[in-house]
Structure formats: structure tokens, C-alpha cells
């Protein structure tokens, strides 16, 4: 007689022992931290010596959950957390006190038009169909915060699609924006692991006006492609007037510290349609092979 039942586990699952460990009788030995199962001992896991393990956990948790959600590739959005959506831009100006503060508020208002562009682009890319294996592509992914990140997640939700937020613990609390899909809302301790997850599945990156964080993420991506550590992908830079004011890209080439060809890694955009057309053209031309 054939037994079609799967074989029983030889050893109890960690989950089973973790549950059993909660019900051991109290004694001086069992009350000691040394007696805790290693994977249930938070103080142990937070030791400096365990940093490599925490690295692995932050890599694995997000990786496994995105795999389980059938997300094969992402469309990443970078940008400032400080630029208001257009409907709130005037409130920022009214609240400003002093000429300098008002000038800054006016500048932020001028950039607020890109909020709607980010939202529109996210709406477009979220409609990309499933592949033959049921995998999802160009899933909208942001840092999970406000402003352009919120606009990106919001655009995906507009279309009834799930969307990813990769948040990070900061000294001042930063909650995920309300448009991030709860089951795809991740929190990181290590910037390095968060940045890895931004790019592991990325097939295109949209970069909106931003500050140090946006610079960090954008220039790291440009460096990875420039040095051959990543295959080229569309890097869509929005707000040419802003970027050319704060970074003289051509001067870098003129000074010889990058090649003129390196500047071709950037695709300048001012509309969602322009950006999505550039992405589709890139992959039509067979530039999508991944290493």
C-alpha cells in the first residue's frame, strides 16, 4: 500500500520550540537571559557582534516577502520629502515668516508641480501587465515617505495596484505615507540594505528634485552603472532647471573627471509621458538583459 502522505519532520520546527519555550516552569536557570533561545533573545541579536546577522536578516526579510508577492521588477521613485503637493503649496507660503522663508516656500511651490507628474507616471507604470509566469513588473517602489514618494505610491493606488515603501528609522519619526500597501511596507535600520533593495529589482528609476538623500541615491546608481557593476537602465531626471542649478554636470565632463559619454546615462524628462516613452524605448531596443 502506497503512502502518499509527506514524511514527518525529524526535528521539531523552530516555531514549535519557540512556542514551547514560552511555557517552561520558572526557576533561576530558566529566568536567566542565557536560557532564551538565541533567535528569541533580542538583547543577544542587538549585540554589536551580531551586526552581520542583522545585515542578513534585513536583506532576507524584504527579499523573501517580495518574492512571495510575485514582484519580479520595480520602478523606483527618488525625490525630496519636503516639496508639498500643489494643493498645500500656498499654505506653506502663508505660514512662512520673513523674506528668506517666503522665498524658500515659493521655490518649493514651484517644484510642487512634479508631485502630479510623479503620480501620473506611477499610474502609467502600474498598468504594466503580468508576464507569462504571473510575475509583476514595474511595481512602484518609493522610500515610503511624503512628497514625491507619496505621489508615487498614491499613483499606484489610484490604479488599484499594490505599491512598495522602503522606510528607514530616523531620529525624527517618519511614518510610511498612507498609500503604501501595508504588506509591502518595510522598515530598515541599515541605509546600505535599504539602498540594495531599491536597486535589486529596479528596471527604471525616476529622480525628482531633492536634497542630500536624493543626491546619495542618484549618484550611487550612476556610479554603479558607470563602473559596470549594474547594467544600464533608464535614469529619468525630472526638473532640468533645478538640477543644472545645483549640479553642473557638464562641468564634470569638461574637467575630465567623468567622460562625456557618462552624461548619456541621464535621460532628462519634464512629463510622465516622456519618461514612460523613454523606458519603453530602452527595453524595445533590447537593453534589458540583467546580470
> How much is the pLDDT for 196?
96
Q: How far is the C-alpha of 122 from the C-alpha of 256, rounded, in Å?
A: 36
Q: What is the mean pLDDT of the chain?
A: 92
Average pLDDT over residues 99-105: 91
Share of the chain above pLDDT 90, in %: 77
Q: Is the pLDDT of residue 132 over 90?
A: yes
Q: Is the pLDDT of residue 4 over 80?
A: no
Q: In which band, very low, low, confident or very high, does the pLDDT at 3 lie, cut at 50, 70 and 90?
A: low
Average pLDDT over residues 108-122: 96
Give the model confidence (pLDDT) of 232-291 as tens digits. 999 999 999 999 999 999 999 999 999 999 999 999 999 999 999 999 999 987 654 433
- 225 touches 287 (CB < 8 A): no
Question: What is the widest separation between alpha-carbon atoms in the chain?
Answer: 88
Q: How far is CA 253 from CA 94, 98, 232, 258, 262, in A?
A: 42, 39, 19, 5, 8
Backbone phi, psi, residue 287, to 5°: -100, 15
Q: How far is the C-alpha of 260 from the C-alpha of 191, rounded, in Å?
A: 31
Average pLDDT over residues 116-145: 97
Q: How far is CA 96 from CA 93, 104, 183, 242, 262, in A?
A: 5, 9, 38, 22, 40
> How much is the pLDDT for 7?
67
Query: Is-above-0.85 flag for pTM?
Result: yes
Domains of the chain (ranges; CATH) run 55-84+113-284 (3.40.50.450)
Average pLDDT over residues 114-134: 97
More confident residue, 174 or 219: 219
124: nearest Cα among 159, 148, 151: 159
Amino acid at each position: 500500500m502506497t503512502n502518499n502522505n509527506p514524511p514527518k519532520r525529524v526535528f521539531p520546527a523552530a516555531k514549535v520550540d519557540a512556542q514551547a519555550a514560552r511555557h517552561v516552569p520558572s526557576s533561576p536557570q530558566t529566568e536567566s537571559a542565557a536560557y532564551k533561545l538565541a533567535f528569541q533573545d533580542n538583547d543577544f541579536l542587538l549585540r554589536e557582534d551580531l551586526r552581520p546577522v542583522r545585515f542578513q536578516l534585513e536583506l532576507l526579510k524584504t527579499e523573501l516577502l517580495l518574492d512571495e508577492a510575485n514582484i519580479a521588477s520595480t520602478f523606483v521613485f527618488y525625490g525630496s520629502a519636503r516639496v508639498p503637493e500643489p494643493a498645500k503649496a500656498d499654505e506653506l507660503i502663508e505660514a512662512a515668516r520673513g523674506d528668506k522663508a517666503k522665498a524658500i516656500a515659493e521655490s518649493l511651490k514651484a517644484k510642487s508641480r512634479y508631485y502630479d507628474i510623479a503620480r501620473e507616471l506611477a499610474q502609467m507604470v502600474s498598468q504594466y501587465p503580468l508576464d507569462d509566469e504571473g510575475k509583476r513588473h514595474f511595481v512602484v517602489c518609493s522610500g515610503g515617505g511624503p512628497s514625491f514618494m507619496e505621489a508615487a505610491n498614491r499613483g499606484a493606488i489610484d490604479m488599484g495596484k499594490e505599491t512598495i515603501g522602503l522606510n528607514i528609522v530616523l531620529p525624527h519619526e517618519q511614518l510610511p505615507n498612507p498609500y503604501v500597501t501595508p504588506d509591502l511596507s518595510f522598515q530598515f535600520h541599515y541605509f546600505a540594505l535599504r539602498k540594495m533593495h531599491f536597486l535589486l529589482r529596479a528596471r527604471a528609476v525616476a529622480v525628482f528634485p531633492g536634497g542630500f538623500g536624493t543626491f546619495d541615491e542618484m549618484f550611487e546608481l550612476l556610479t554603479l552603472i558607470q563602473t559596470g557593476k549594474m547594467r544600464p537602465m533608464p535614469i529619468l531626471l525630472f526638473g532640468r532647471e533645478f538640477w543644472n542649478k545645483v549640479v553642473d554636470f557638464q562641468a564634470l565632463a569638461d574637467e575630465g573627471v567623468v567622460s562625456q559619454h557618462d552624461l548619456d546615462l541621464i535621460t532628462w524628462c519634464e512629463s510622465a509621458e516622456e519618461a514612460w516613452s523613454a523606458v519603453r524605448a530602452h527595453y524595445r531596443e533590447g537593453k534589458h538583459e540583467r546580470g
